[in-house]
Structure 1
C-alpha cells in the first residue's frame, strides 16, 4: 500500500471537502430535501456579504456561558441591537464558566439541550455522536455561505477533515482563524525580575532558573501560583499542562486528547503514556518539589490564584491578552511600582513552533431539536452571519460603528469610543465594552481574519503576536475517524483513560506517587483499554488512508 504523507492525506481530505461543498451549492440532494419544510423565516438567495435578517421574528434557544468578569445580562445592548439587525432573539440558558462543560454534558446527554450550543472544544462533541444528541453539521454547511467561503479561501479543509468522523462528517462548527493565533502564556512581575537582575525566560528551562532566583530572594513564598485549573473536569486538567505539552510534543491538560500522532513512526500513540508526557510531568514535579510552584496551582480557584498574585505571595501566573490587563494588572495596581507583562510563550523540545491545530477555535454544536424547527434554515443563516461573516464578527466584537467605535480596519482608522474600555484600550474610561454592553462576551466572537483579530490588540499585544508569528506552524495530525460502533466503545475507553491520566498526573506532580512508578502507571493505562484504543485509532487511520 502506498504510504501518504500527512500533507498528502490532508490535501486529499481537503479536496474531498471542497468537492462536497461545491456539490451542495445547487441545493439539490438528500440533505436539501431534509430542510425543504424548514425554511420559515429564512432569506432567499442568502450569500456572502449579505446582512442576515429573518423575514419574521424568531427565537432560538442557546447555551450562554456567563463569564465571572462580565456576567450574562439579558438586557445587554448587544442583544437588543442583534435583534434589530437580524430579527432574532434568544431563549438563553446562562451557565457560569466553572460549570459550563458539566452542564453541557448533562443537558445534551439527557436530550434537553438548547438548539445552539456554543463554546464547545473538540473533541468534546464526540461523546454525544453515538446517541444522536447532536447533528452532523457538515450536512448543512452548504446553507452557510460565509463559513464555506472562508474554509476554501483559507485552506482549512484539512483542519476540518481532522475533526471529521468515520462517516466523513463533522459534528462541530468551529471558529475559523485565517492564521495560527497563540493567546495564552505566562504573566510575570517584571518589576521583581528587574529588581533582582533576573531575565525574562525564553525557554521552560529558563523559567526554572528564574523561579529558583525568585525563591532564593523570597524563601517564604512560592514564586509561581497558577490558575485555570477548575474549568475542565478532573484534577490536573489545566491550562499550564496544555502549554507545556505543546512545547514537548504531546497532549495534556486543556489540550488533552487520548491519541497523539507520531509523525516519525507514522502512527498514533497513547498521549498519556508518551515519554514526552513523562517529561512534562517531571518538569512540573521538579517545580513543586523545589517549592518553586504552589502545589495548589492544580486545584485552586482562579480567585485564589489572583489573590496570591495581588498580595505579592506569588509573581507568576497564566494569562491571556485580556486577563493580563483586566485582572492581573488591576490586581497589583495598589502595589507601588508593580508591573506585570505577558511574556513570549517559553519554548521547549519542539523549539520555536506552534501547533497548526490552533487555526480552529471552540465552536458550536447543534442539538437534535434544532432540526425539528421549521426555522432551521434561518437558524443556520443566522449562525453563519454572526459567527462567520466579517460584519457579524465586527459586530459581536466591537458593536456599532459611530456608537461604540469609529473608523475602519481597512484604512487603519478604527478606534474604540474613548468613553469605553476593553482590555488595554482606554483603561480609564467609565464604560466597559463587555460588562456594560455585552460585546466580546465570550460566546460569539471567535475566529476571523487576521485583520479583525489584530483590531483587538494593544501595542503591547501586537509586539507579543509579532514574536509568536516568527514561529513555525506544525502540521496537524491526520484523521482517525471511528465508525458509530467504534465511537461508542472508544468513548468508554477514553473516559476511563482520561480520568486515570488526570488523577495520576496530579499525583506524580505533587509527589504523592513517585516517578519510579511510571512504568506501572503505563501498565494501568493499558489495562484500562489504552492499547485497544490506540489499535482502534490506527485501524481507523489505515482505513482512512485506503479510502483516499
Structure 2
C-alpha cells in the first residue's frame, strides 16, 4: 500500500509539473526588471521583474554589464590563466563578467563547505552532484531554485523534452523545494564500466562478457594462457567496479552506495543495502575471482597512481579487463603502443548483467549548480537566473563550452564537428600536433562546465565511434533501475543520520574488502551484520523510513 501511494503521488506530481510546463510553454518568455528574490507572506518567492528576456534555445544578453561571482575548481593538469579566451567569449555573448574564487581540486569539497558555512562563498557554486546540496539546503545557505524555474526557460524545456520532470521532482527536500538544478543528459549511461582486451578474449575463445558469469569464464581462460597475469583489475580502490557491478546483483555499493538505503519492494520499506542477500552475492562473486587468482588485489586497495598502476599492468599484458570510462580507452591504448603492443582491441562494454537481471544504475544527472542565499539579494538576481540557465542548459552555450566558437575553432557539417587544424584537444587525441590546445590554452572543454548538460548529438560529437556503440549497447541491452522513493531528511535528521551513517559506512567498506580479498571468511557474514546492528543500524534505518513515510503522505 505504501508503494502504491508513492506511485500515485509521483503520477500526480508529474501531471502537475507537466501542466505547469504546458502553461508556461517550452519557449515561454520570462520577461522581467531588477530586484532581488524576496518572498511573500506565505514564504513563496515573490514574482521578479527583470530588465531582460530569456527564451529557450535563443541567445541571451543582459541589458547592462553585470558581474557575478563563481566558485572555480582548479585542476592541476589544466591551470587557469588570465589569457583564457573562454571567459572573454562568455562576457561578449552575455554581458556578464565572472569574478572567480579559486579552490584546488584536491580538497574542493571541504573548501566549498567551509566557504558556504562561513557565508563567504561566491554566488554561483558549480560542480554540485545530487545529494551534495542537502546540508546547505537544510541550513538555508542556498537558494530554493524550484521557486524560480519560471525564469529558467531552457531548464524547463529540456527537463520536459528529455522526460526528466519526475527525476527533478525527486530532488525536493523535506520542505518540498529543491535547491540545486542538475546537469541534464538526453541519454544516460554509466560513466564507468568494464573495458576489455577483446582481442585477447577472442584469442582464448572467451565470449564477450554479457554477464558476470561470462566474465569469470573468460578470465579463467585468459589465466590459463597467461599464467602470470591477474586479468581483472579496478584501479579505483574497488569502489568503481563494485558500483557498476552492484546493480546486476540487486544492490548498491562502492561509489553508488549513497546513504546505503535499498528499497525493498516486497516489504514496502528501505533496508540497509550492505546487509542484503544481493550484497552478499556480489561479495561472494568477487571473492571467488580472488581465490581463483583472477583478480588483481592491489587494484582493489590502491588508487590508480604511482608505481604498479593498472595502466602499467595493462601495458605489460598482466591485466586484460579493467574499470574505466571513454577516456581510459585512449589512455591505456597509448600505454600499450608505447610498450610496443600494436595489435590490440580495447572495447568499452555495457556493465555485465547478473543474478538481478540486466540492470544498470538509474537514469542519472550530471553535475549542476547551486546559488548561495546572498545571491537572491543581488539587485540583478533575475539576470543571474537567466545567465545560469543559459550557461547550463542553452544549446548555444553547451556547444560553446565544449567546442569553442564555430568558424574560428571548429566547423560543423551534418552534425559532425571538426576542429580547425591550428587547434587541438590533446586529452581527446584530436589534432594532437596542433599548436594551440582548446582546453589548456583557451579554457574551452574545461572540467567545471563541460559535459554537465548534453544532448545525445553533443555527447557523441567528441567521442570515438566505439563510445557511440557503447551508448547504443547500454540503451538496447540494459535496463536502468527505477529510482528509489524520495526520503528527504530535515536538518536535525541529517545531522543524526551523519553521526550514525558514517561509522556504518566505514564498517561496510572495511568488511567488503576483507571478504573479497580473503582476509575474512564469508562464514563471518552474520557476525558482520551483527556488528552493524550494534552500531545503531536500526535507528539509522528508522530515520530513513520515517522520512520516506512522511514524504509519501505528503504526495497523496
Same fold (TM over 0.5): yes
Q: Which of 291, 311, 326 is matched with 1:321 structurally?
A: 326
| Distance in 1 of aligned mates of 2:267 and 2:409 | 53
Whole-Å Cα distance in 1 between the matches of residues 479 and 5 of structure 2?
Answer: 19
Equivalent pair of 2:299/2:310 in contact (CA under 8 Å): yes
Identify if the C-alpha distance between structure 1 residues 3 and 305 changes in structure 2 by more than 3 Å, giving closer, same or farther.
Answer: closer
For the structure 1 residues 523 and 399, does the alpha-carbon distance in structure 2 shift closer, same or farther, using more than 3 Å as the test? same
Per the alignment, residue 27 of structure 2 pairs with none
What do residues 318-358 of structure 1 show as CA deviations (whole Å, max 9, x unaligned)?
Answer: 22122322x12222222232432222322222323333332
In 1, are the aligned partners of 2:31 and 2:51 still within 8 Å (CA)?
no
Q: How does 1:298-377 map to 2 (within 5 A)?
A: 298-303=300-305, 304-325=309-330, 327-334=331-338, 335-339=340-344, 340-358=346-364, 360-377=365-382
Partner of 2:405: 400
Aligned twin of 2:292: 290
> TM-score w.r.t. structure 2 length?
0.86
Instruction: Name the SS of the counterpart of 1:513 in structure 2.
Output: coil
- Which range is displaced more, 426-435 or 493-502? 426-435
Instruction: Pick closer, same or farther for the CA change 1:353–1:226 going to 2, 3 Å.
Output: closer
Q: Displacement, 1:74?
A: 4.6
Give the direction of change, closer, same or farther, for the CA distance of 1:11–1:454 in structure 2 (3 Å limit).
Answer: farther
Distance 1:248 1:154 in 2: 28
8 Å Cα contact 2:233-2:300 kept in structure 1: no
Counterparts in 2 of 1:365 and 1:310: CA distance versus 1, 3 Å: farther
Q: CA contact under 8 A between 2:244 and 2:360: conserved in structure 1?
A: no
C-alpha distance in 2 between matches for 1:135 and 1:298:
40
Distance 1:23 1:198, change over 3 A: closer
User: Cα gap change, 1:117/1:199 in structure 2, threshold over 3 Å: closer, same or farther?
Assistant: same
Give the aligned partner of residue 256 of structure 1: 257
Maintained 8 Å contact 1:35/1:376: no
CA RMSD of the aligned region, Å? 3.1
Equivalent of 1:124, from 132, 147, 150?
132
Go from structure 1 to structure 2 and tell me whether the alpha carbon gap of 1:90 and 1:228 turns closer, same or farther (over 3 Å shift): farther
Corresponding residue to 1:164 among 165, 172, 181: 172
Q: How far, CA to CA, are the matches of 1:517 and 1:74 in structure 2? A: 58
SS of equivalent to 1:536: helix
* SS in structure 1 at match of 2:387: helix
Question: What is the rounded CA distance, in whole Å, between the counterparts of 2:154 and 2:191 in structure 1?
Answer: 25
2:513 is matched with which residue?
Answer: 506
Q: 1:538 to 1:32 in 2, by over 3 A?
A: same
Shift of 1:498: 2.3
Q: CA deviation at 1:172?
A: 2.1
What SS does the corresponding residue of 1:435 show, helix, strand or coil? coil
Structure 1 Cα separation of the partners of residues 290 and 31 of structure 2: 60
Within 5 A, what are the aligned runs for 1:445-484?
A: 445=450, 446-470=452-476, 471-484=478-491
Does the CA contact (< 8 Å) of 2:125 and 2:372 recur in 1? Answer: yes
* 1:69 positional shift: 5.0
Note if contact 2:135-2:491 (Cα within 8 Å) is conserved in structure 1. Answer: no
* Deviation, structure 1 residue 71: 4.4
Question: Which residue does 1:223 correspond to in 2?
Answer: 231
Shift of 1:311: 3.6
Cα shift at 1:387: 0.7
Gaps in structure 2 of 5+ consecutive residues? 25-29
Q: Give the structure 2 partner of residue 246 of structure 1.
A: 247
**Alpha-carbon distance in structure 2 between the residues aligned to 1:72 and 1:240:** 32
| CA positional deviation for 1:159 | 0.6
Shift of residue 21 of structure 1? 6.6
